[in-house]
Amino acid sequence: MKLGLIGNPIKHSLSPWIHSRLLELAGIEGQYQLYEMQPGSFQQQIELLRNEQLDGFNVTVPFKQKIMPELDDIDGQAKKLGAVNTVKNHDGRWLGYNTDGKGFVNSLRAKYGTLLHPDTKVLLLGAGGAAKGIFFTLLNEGVRQIDVANRTTERAEAIVNASEAAVSSHSLTLKEAEGRIAEYHLIIQTTTVGMNPRSDESIISLKNMKEGAVVSDIVYQPLETAFLKDAISNGGRIHQGHEMLLYQAVYAFKIWTGKSIDETKLLMELEAQLKGE
Ligand code: ATR
């Protein structure tokens, strides 16, 4: 089986490691290769990629939108998000999917099975592609109030207003979110704030958060961000970025192969890998 990743930069991607392990665990012979493409010659490079006859590939920054006109069909969720991160080659036809939101929700459910229900109050920090994916997946799961706070408030407004949840969800400034932090059962950090090398930064303070609330950070380098440390010291429970990373990869692998792999053991291996053990 031939799999791969297109994006730029991708040299430090963890996907080759994850998918090689998934192939091994599924007992499938195959490889996962990196295709670093230049935005200026994307079209020509896509034609070359077609000749490679990959069975499937992942798409990352900055091509998640650019790939869409090259596809023969796009699944409903990816269409809604306007972004594709997984492509399956089905008898020569390229089909597009987005596994980010589902990866997030699956990993959250695996750890906190009863957390998500219609009355769960959620705060989403950030309004980029990752936030959008998580927002619409949570809505699909039946959550009704998902407030979105962002440095640029207009982007938060755009997400909230694009949905039927606009009645019960609000767009907020980061300051307003900090002031209302005690209301939320689930707080999700989707920006790059706190990522190495700026690991001492946190997007907002969690000082007044509800005890026992779940705090999630999609940043996985470092494994425990300053934001998550703040959560722990204020009585929060945490959900880490590498959990989403692994679950979205396992979901992509299922789209390509039809095989479900148990994430639990691989999650520990990934943790060790990220700690450099
Ligand atoms: P992606 O699609 O990967 O999520 P993106 O669209 O660039 O990436 O979104 C990045 C998010 O991080 C945005 O919500 C951005 O806020 P703005 O919309 O105001 O730009 C947020 N972000 C990045 N750096 C930030 C910082 N220093 N402080 C607060 N928010 C930041």
Q: How far is the CA of 192 from the centre of ligand 1 (A)?
A: 7
Q: How far is the CA of 128 from the centre of ligand 1 (A)?
A: 6
150 lines ligand 1 (CB under 6 A): yes
Asked if 252 and 85 touch (Cβ cutoff 8 Å), the reply is: yes
61 confidence band (pLDDT: 50, 70, 90): very high
Tell me which of 64, 88, 102, 132 is the catalytic residue: 64
pLDDT at 60 over 80: yes
Q: How far is Cα 55 from Cα 51, in angstroms, rounded to an integer?
A: 12
DSSP strand pairing (86-90 vs 93-97): antiparallel
Q: pTM higher than 0.85 for the full model?
A: yes
Residue 259: how many CA atoms within 13 Å on its side-chain side?
13
166 confidence band (pLDDT: 50, 70, 90): low
What pLDDT, in 10s, does the model give residues 6-56?
A: 999 999 999 999 999 999 999 999 999 999 999 999 999 999 999 999 999
Q: How far is Cα 227 from Cα 106, in angstroms, rounded to an integer?
A: 22
- Ligand 1 pocket mutation, candidates 98, 123, 151, criterion most atoms within 8 A of CB: 151
Q: How far is the CA of 183 from the centre of ligand 1 (A)?
A: 23
Q: How far is the CA of 191 from the centre of ligand 1 (A)?
A: 5
Q: How far is Cα 43 from Cα 62, in angstroms, rounded to an integer?
A: 14
128 lines ligand 1 (CB under 6 A): yes
Helix axes 241-257, 15-26, angle to 10 degrees: 50
What pLDDT, in 10s, does the model give residues 115-131?
A: 999 999 999 999 998 99
Asked if 110 and 103 touch (Cβ cutoff 8 Å), the reply is: no
Q: Which two tokens stand for residue 132?
A: 């959008």
Q: How far is Cα 130 from Cα 255, in angstroms, rounded to an integer?
A: 20
What share of the chain has pLDDT > 90, as a percent?
95
Q: Give the residue carrying structure tokens 């494994």.
A: 223
Q: What is the rounded average pLDDT for all residues in the chain?
A: 96
- Ligand 1 pocket mutation, candidates 66, 125, 171, 191, criterion most atoms within 8 A of CB: 191
Residue 58: how many CA atoms within 13 Å on its side-chain side?
26
Instruction: Give the number of the atom of ligand 1 that is nearest the alpha carbon of residue 125.
Output: 14
- The pLDDT value recorded for residue 258 is 97
- The pLDDT value recorded for residue 165 is 65
Residue whose Cα lies nearest atom 26 of ligand 1: it is 193
- The pLDDT value recorded for residue 163 is 81
Contacts of 122 (CB under 8 A, 6+ apart): 138, 143, 145, 146, 147, 184, 185, 186, 187, 188
In this prediction, residues 226-236 reach a mean pLDDT of 98
Residue whose Cα lies nearest atom 16 of ligand 1: it is 151
Helices (H) and strands (E) in the chain, counts: 10, 12
Q: What are phi and psi of 208, to 5 degrees?
A: -105, 20
130 lines ligand 1 (CB under 6 A): yes
In this prediction, residues 69-81 reach a mean pLDDT of 95
Q: What are phi and psi of 235, to 5 degrees?
A: 80, 20
Q: How far is the CA of 195 from the centre of ligand 1 (A)?
A: 12
64 is catalytic: yes
Contacts of 97 (CB under 8 A, 6+ apart): 74, 75, 77, 78, 84, 85, 86, 87, 88, 252, 255
Instruction: Give the number of the atom of ligand 1 that is nearest the alpha carbon of residue 130.
Output: 4
111 lines ligand 1 (CB under 6 A): no
Asked whether the CA dihedral 142, 161, 127, 252 is positive or negative, the reply is: positive
